[in-house]
Amino acid sequence: MAFSGGIRLTDLNDYITPGQECIKPVKANKSGQQADGSTIRVGQEGDYYEVTKDGEETKLEKASITLNDCLACSGCVTSAETVLITMQSHHELLSVLDENRQLHESGNGEKVKYVVVTVAPQVVASLSLKYQLSPLSVAKRMTSTLKAMGVSQVVDSAFSRDLTLAESAREFVERFRKSEGKLHGEQSGALPMLASWCPGWVCYAEKTHAEVLPWMSTTKSPQQAMGSVVKDYLAKKLQLTPDRIYHVAVMMCYDKKLEA
């Protein structure tokens, strides 16, 4: 099963060392005691052996886990996640802002990137709870801080969430009409319609429950929708090419890096 179009993994080594744990669901006996009374012994070199009641030992094969097994649960930090975290971190933003300052100082303002930061409401709510401030106060402080750092515009992803909800409603109505044979005589509407803004859930469904794919909504998540708005609508309004706009999304979960 291939990754969805919103997931991009490049230059990766998906080898997981024995010291790293993955929470991919597997049937395991935590006590080490098997149903038939046999036990598991760990050898001096880290190999596993099944020992029967009669004392007979059988070497067990090591389980191999690759990106095809990964459900994007963030239960482990593999080299793949390390690359994603490195490529999409606050260091990248600081580097762009520093480059903008250098371009301004050298008189090359036409090469400066227009930096847009999208903030998720969940981030504001978390900081509000952490520092015992009102959500409005946190939003204002974040906006002023980011703009003082050199960010051009700060937007709330609640706007793109509304766009996503409207598009999801339109998609559901179209599917419903197809299922009832009321749209161009078609009867191919897949219902119920399953929707999620979590790339981890999408990845899980693609890899473990391919049978539900026809029922999954094709509507973009709020983060992806905002990316389209910023790179298309805003770019045209500001008369800038999309590559001149640097879009940053401050989201609530590491899994969001999979669709960045």
Looking at residue 196, what DSSP letter applies? -
- Does pLDDT of 40 surpass 80? no
Q: How far is 84 from 110, CA to CA, in rounded Å? A: 30
What pLDDT is attached to residue 256?
A: 82
CA distance 7 to 3: 6
Burial class (CB in 10 A: 0-12, 13-18, 19+), 168: middle
**Residue 194 backbone phi and psi in degrees, to 5:** -95, 130
For 186-208, write each residue's pLDDT tens digit. 545 688 899 888 888 888 888 77
- Name the more confident of 242 and 254: 242
- pTM, rounded to two decimals: 0.67
Higher pLDDT, 227 or 34: 227
Beta strands in 86-143 (DSSP E): 114-119
Bridge partners, residue 141, by sequence: none
Residues 6+ apart with CB under 8 A from 27: none
Indicate the pairing of strand 57-59 with strand 48-51. antiparallel
What's the rounded mean pLDDT across residues 3-12? 43
- C-beta separation of 132 from 126 below 8 A: no
The average confidence (pLDDT) of the chain is 79
